[in-house]
Structure 1
């Protein structure tokens, strides 16, 4: 499967072997890893990806992606689908960046690319959540076109959906 490329980033879909490398902390990769990668969320994502691979096979393109800087190939975080589309065509996503990459718009850029890719794959909706106090993550989802649809004391839930052909505005 091909990488997803944006103006400043490469979203690289991990194979099972590459996910094992991340899980084992093996730094031998494309452009290396930024300090702090993999974070707890990245490890959780590759574990989920590997469990899916073991249970039903490789879910790509609805798997886990490393977020790499185009300029040097360095991995600065990850973005992932929590699995293939459900019976209604919806997916759930997650993302995270190393602290040194915060504040540069990388998360919004990566998420916009993943949303566009999901839509091109025929996905009908994308959902995500964040801690109630994580204002930066809430801004990322809003900047990528997702809308707040529910909240609890602990979490904020975001979603975008499409009900027409590609090119129509998300709802």
Structure 2
């Protein structure tokens, strides 16, 4: 669970957020050297970073189960975020989320990042990964399905997906 290495894929680097980096995301205040693409961070990135900081204060460092910046390998620019909403529950199930700036959508980056996060969850000992997306967010439904997650139901707001590891 303490594995906080970056995750490299064919086209992406998922960089694990530190507390200082998360605070910069919350404040929307990049430091010199941060390579944020136009439009980053979005509201979801700030909510994730705030949740991470609250979790650090309440429960300590979650190790691998943290948020990650999604960076393009070609130039290092941050085009979104993805990661875990915290450590697994008592049954070993971890919740995952992700998002990209509009300019980075439609290139398969979200599916690539989600597959990498699922691998990290498996390596860190989770038993399952779950996620959800608004009913009208068909792009996100496709991302979860492309990463091997199965639809398991919906309510009046979201579709729920799960993958047993």
Structure 1 and Structure 2 fold alike (TM over 0.5): yes
Equivalent residues, number:
162
Alignment correspondent of 1:11:
14
Q: Could you list the per-position Cα deviations for residues 131-165 of structure 1 after superposition, in whole angstroms to 9, with x for gaps in the alignment?
A: 00000000000000001001122210000002xxx
Q: What is the SS of the residue equivalent to 1:66? A: strand
CA separation in 1, counterparts of 2:92 and 2:111? 23
Is the Cα contact below 8 Å between 1:82 and 1:93 reproduced in 2? yes
TM-score (norm 2): 0.95
Is 2:84 the partner of 1:81?
yes
Is 2:36 the partner of 1:33?
yes
Q: Could you list the per-position Cα deviations for residues 67-116 of structure 1 after superposition, in whole angstroms to 9, with x for gaps in the alignment?
A: 00001110000002011011111100110000000000000000000001
Alpha-carbon deviation of 1:25? 1.4
5+ residue gaps, structure 1: 163-171
CA separation in 2, counterparts of 1:90 and 1:154? 21
Q: CA RMSD in A?
A: 1.1
Alignment correspondent of 2:69:
66
Is 2:114 the partner of 1:111?
yes
Is 2:144 the partner of 1:141?
yes
**Residue number among 126, 131, 147 corresponding to 1:128 in the alignment:** 131
5+ residue gaps, structure 2: none
CA separation in 2, counterparts of 1:137 and 1:9? 18
Moved more, 100-109 or 147-156: 147-156
CA separation in 1, counterparts of 2:33 and 2:7? 15
Q: Structure 1 119/44 Cα, relative in aligned 2: closer, same or farther at 3 Å?
A: same
**Residue number among 46, 52, 55 corresponding to 1:43 in the alignment:** 46
Alpha-carbon deviation of 1:28? 2.4
Q: What is the SS of the residue equivalent to 1:46? A: helix
CA separation in 2, counterparts of 1:30 and 1:102? 24
